């Protein structure tokens, strides 16, 4: 029987590997700065003398072999989930790494940053591949399925679909609010969450939402039925819930769309 695993991280630098069935967790150990440099890390810039351990994003590869983390030190860190050891540091971003995703079934890793760019890495070859541009502000959320198509949301109120192989992109904008998060449903449909609590269903053929669930996440709620909900306008809360929101509302959105 395959062990069910989960991963979590926090701004204090803690990275945990969980056994879902037993509820037990094991901690990943950060190497010292000398080892980080041997793994590819660049020296910190400015007044900082040590690499920040503040983690803002995690992603795990489809085969479960690799865990990627990113944060304030502007590096993408690669871990071996079998040994829980740090194996590579990818420098290159000029701002904090805010979001990460693996392309399913491949060794390609995408990283979004506050430097307004998305970078592509090959984790098997430990190599940088390409940089995608197009945002006027920080990149907040990123997602990818099997194809070389990357969906991302930026603080410039845009959601962009990059067709990496074709070197082209589609731009989507919400007319009433600022988009905060996104994820694919399939290759032609995707969902976004906005700072007004709405969830929008989009199709690749239209520049406007196909359907909108208004006030899907109210701005002032509490714990209900064991689920932690927003308490005030917490932007990080909206971002963090997008993956959950997508799976929860996909069926409802399709039913509502078909009845319109």
For residue 257, how many other CB atoms are within 10 A of its CB?
Answer: 13
CATH code 2.130.10.10 region(s) in the chain:
1-97+107-130, 134-260
* Separation of alpha carbons 155 and 164, rounded Å: 21
Find the mean pLDDT for residues 147-165: 93
Residue 49 has pLDDT above 60, yes or no: no
Find the mean pLDDT for residues 105-134: 96
Residue 214 has pLDDT above 70, yes or no: yes
Residue 242 has pLDDT above 50, yes or no: no
Residue 112 has pLDDT above 80, yes or no: yes
Residue 255 has pLDDT above 80, yes or no: no
* Separation of alpha carbons 108 and 101, rounded Å: 9
Q: Taking the mean position of all CA atoms in its chain, how far away is CA 48? A: 26
* Separation of alpha carbons 64 and 187, rounded Å: 23
Angle ∠(132,36,58) on CA atoms, nearest 5 = 50
| Residue 145 confidence (pLDDT) | 95
| Residue 3 confidence (pLDDT) | 74
* Separation of alpha carbons 150 and 101, rounded Å: 9
Residue 108 has pLDDT above 80, yes or no: yes
Summarize pLDDT for 71-105 with one digit per residue, the tens.
Answer: 999 999 999 999 999 999 999 999 999 999 999 99
Confidence of residue 1 (pLDDT cuts 50, 70, 90): low
| Residue 229 confidence (pLDDT) | 38
CATH 2.120.10.30 fits 134-260, yes or no: no
CATH superfamily of 1-97+107-130: YVTN repeat-like/Quinoprotein amine dehydrogenase (2.130.10.10)
């Amino acid at each position: 029987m395959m062990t069910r695993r989960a991963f979590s991280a926090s701004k204090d630098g803690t990275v945990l590997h969980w056994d879902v069935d037993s509820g037990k967790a094991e901690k990943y150990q950060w190497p010292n700065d000398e080892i980080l440099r041997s793994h590819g890390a660049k020296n910190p810039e400015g007044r900082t003398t040590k690499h920040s351990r503040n983690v803002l994003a995690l992603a795990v590869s489809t085969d479960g072999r690799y865990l990627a983390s990113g944060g304030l030190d502007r590096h993408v860190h690669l871990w071996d989930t079998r040994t829980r050891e740090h194996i590579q540091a990818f420098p290159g971003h000029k701002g904090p790494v805010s979001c990460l995703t693996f392309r399913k079934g491949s060794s390609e890793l995408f990283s979004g940053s506050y430097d307004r760019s998305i970078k592509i890495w090959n984790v098997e070859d430990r190599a940088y591949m390409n940089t995608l541009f197009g945002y006027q502000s920080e990149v907040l959320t990123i997602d990818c399925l099997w194809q070389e198509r990357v969906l991302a949301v930026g603080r410039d109120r845009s959601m962009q679909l990059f067709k990496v192989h074709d070197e082209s992109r589609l731009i989507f904008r919400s007319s009433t609010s600022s988009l905060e998060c996104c994820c694919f449903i399939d290759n032609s449909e995707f969902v976004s969450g906005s700072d007004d609590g709405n969830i929008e269903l989009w199709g690749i053929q239209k520049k406007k939402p196909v359907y909108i669930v208004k006030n899907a996440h109210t701005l002032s709620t509490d714990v209900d039925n064991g689920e932690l909900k927003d308490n005030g306008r917490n932007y990080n809360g909206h971002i963090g819930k997008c993956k959950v929101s997508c799976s929860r509302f996909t069926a409802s959105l399709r039913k509502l769309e078909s009845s319109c």
